[in-house]
Amino acid sequence: MKKLISLILSAAMLFAFCVPAFAASSEAPFANSEYYELGDYTLHYRVFEPKGEYKKQLLLIHGFCLSTVSLEGVAEEYAKSGYRTVLVDVPNFGYSSRETNNTAFLSREELIGSLMTSLGGKWIVGGHSMGGGIAINLACDYPESVTGLVLYAPQTSAETEGNQQSPVMGMMMQTVYNVILGICLKFPFLVRIFVSTSFSDGDYAKNYDLTRVTEPLALPGTGAGISLMTTHTRGPEFDKLKALEIPCVIITAENDKVAMKDNLRAIIDNAPADTEVFELQKGGHMMMEYAPADVAAKTFSAIEKA
């Protein structure tokens, strides 16, 4: 029996390594899609140009297992008000490249910071959930470029940068992520449960187009890439965050069933002195997707000061 289990596990691991990493297609997924390359990585990003007189520019980062699609609504709200808004897919998600065992790893902050620098100018940086944690690190890393922070239900990652896994453990974890992701994509009702929990609104989730989530997650190499990402994430430096002299706005949701409360409280407690905190009544973790106008409206006072 042990030999059989070992054989099955070995075959599963081999399958995990045979899945090719996603490479940017010659056909862009959106009309405003663009790509940025650095090292072994290709970042997919989208630019929402301002309507009318240009004011400032924002760079927004999505949450775990999501993509630029989840931030389209708020990007359009900002663009309507004169703000050039850039949405970027974090590596292993959306239409950015997937990490493999052959990738020369770069941190998410270094990659997105390099994109931000290449595009030029000053930035208001923000993000949702996991993306909010990345945005916090960017603000601390690039104080000369970041003039404000916009955070939607932010969550910081655990510090795993430099963590070394044994080859066998790494293969096992990639297999686990591939299997879990494969099961979820095969049974849409599981994704519907995730969406319903994230929105905290069953009626909205019932009619939600699941391909907005599943299409990019179905790209080859996603499960293994997510597993590899967990070995080199950066935690927050709250002392640097607290010392920032920039306006910040944090949007929370009354019915958020996803965000870890202690994590969110630590961010609020260590936010810059010039920080506004708003709670969206009856809102869920994905409030910026189903209520983009309400969420954007709560951020304008901080953005205008940035």
Higher pLDDT, 177 or 10: 177
Average pLDDT over residues 36-48: 98
* 220, 21 Cβ separation under 8 angstroms: yes
In tens, the pLDDT along 221-255 reads 999 999 999 999 999 999 999 999 999 999 999 99
Token representation of residue 105: 């790893």
Is the pLDDT at 302 greater than 90? The verdict is yes
In sequence order, what DSSP letters do the residues of 237-298 get, joined into one string? -HHHHHH--S-EEEEEETT-SSS-HHHHHHHHHTS-SSEEEEEETT--TTHHHHSHHHHHHT
- pTM (predicted TM-score): 0.91
Q: Output the CATH code of domain 25-166+234-305.
A: 3.40.50.1820
Which amino acid, 144? E
The pLDDT score that the predictor gives to residue 164 is 67
In tens, the pLDDT along 51-75 reads 989 999 999 999 999 999 999 999 9
* 80, 55 Cβ separation under 8 angstroms: no
The pLDDT score that the predictor gives to residue 14 is 34
